Amino acid sequence: DIQMTQSPFSLSASVGDRVTITCRASQTLSKYLNWYQQKPGKAPKLLLYAASSLQSGVPSRFSGSGSGTDFSLTINSLQPEDFATYYCQQTYSSPPTFGHGTKVEIK
Amino acid sequence: EEQLVESGGGLVQPGGSLRLSCSASGFNFNSCEMHWVRQAPGKGLEWVSSIGGGAYTVYYADSVKGRFTISRDNAKDSLYLQMDSLRAEDTAVYFCARVPPWLGGVDALDLWGQGTEVTVSP
């Protein structure tokens, strides 16, 4: 199985900050990497797919980059509603695997 | 409105069985690959199983293979997960989720249900 390693495990940031979360795969994924946001007690929400394609309805302050084994999610100008846990997911090979999550907390 | 609604969760003893259902509405269900993803209390997301639109292809996580069975009834716009020989470590919220055909084979999960809670305990 492909292992997904996210960093950091958690971070504290302020409204207006720029935040970057990274995701490293144990083998190449091409661009088969997706990002999700999850708030407590809620289902995950798809933010980006294919590494950098913004899902419909997701604010443009979210962006993704990377290919191969190294990927990143960037949130420009963090908003109050962005405090949540973020997961990467590879769909290059079965089983599709998730990273362990990165919790973004209010500083 | 596109929607997925899970049901069937509950408390079950170890070794018991449970059948989860996921009812879809507002979209062409039989065109979509469907997945089950679970989340143990305080933990991250774990993929469980998937099934193709025509139900010809199914996949399982090693942790549930041989115990869980995924199925679908396209006439009823419904997805199912039959869970047998349940263990304490199967305790989790179970989500159903959709892979839309228009994402070009990326297999991202763009629509999720609210989840149904399964607790395996004596």
Residue of B nearest to A101 (CA): B44
How does the average pLDDT of chain A come out, rounded?
A: 97
The Cα–Cα gap between B120 and B81 comes to: 16
Percent of chain A with pLDDT over 90: 97
Asked if residues A86 and A78 have their Cβ atoms less than 8 Å apart, the reply is no
A13-24: pLDDT as tens digits? 999 999 999 999
The 10 Å CB-count burial string (b at 16+, else e) for A57-93 is eeeeebbbebeebebbbebeebeeebbbbbbbbbbbe
Residue B105 has pLDDT above 90, yes or no: no
Nearest CB to B59; choose among A36, A38, A94 = A94
Q: How many CB pairs under 8 A join A and B?
A: 62
pLDDT (tens digit, 9 = 90+) per residue, B54-96? Answer: 888 999 999 999 999 999 999 999 999 999 999 999 999 999 9
Nearest CA in chain A to B94: A43
Q: Do B108 and A38 touch (CB under 8 A)?
A: no
Q: Is B36 on the interface with A (CB under 8 A)?
A: no
**pLDDT reported for residue B23:** 98
pLDDT for B73: 97
Q: What is the pLDDT of residue A7?
A: 97
Which residues on chain B are in Cβ contact (under 8 Å) with A32? 106-107
pLDDT at B102: 85
The whole-number pLDDT of residue A38 equals 98
Look-up of token digits 């989790």: B92
**Interface check B58 vs A, CB under 8 A:** no
**Does residue B103 surpass a pLDDT of 90?**
no
Q: A26 CA to chain B: closest CA distance, Å? A: 17
List Cβ neighbours of A29 (8 Å cut-off, separation of 6 or more).
A2, A67, A68, A69, A71, A90, A92
Q: Which two tokens stand for residue A105?
A: 């907390």
B115 and A CB contact within 8 Å: yes
> Of B46, B59, B106, which is closest to A50 when you measure between CB atoms?
B106
Q: Which residue has the higher pLDDT, A91 or B101?
A: A91
State the nearest Cα–Cα gap between B16 and chain A, in angstroms. 26
Closest CA to B97 of B61, B51, B60, B64: B51
Residues 6+ apart with CB under 8 A from B99: B32, B33, B34, B35, B50, B107, B108, B109, B110
pLDDT at B26 over 80: yes
SS3 B112: strand
User: And the tokens for B94?
Assistant: 């179970």
pLDDT at position A55 is 96
What percentage of chain A has pLDDT greater than the value 70? 100
- Interchain pair B110, A38: CB under 8 A: no
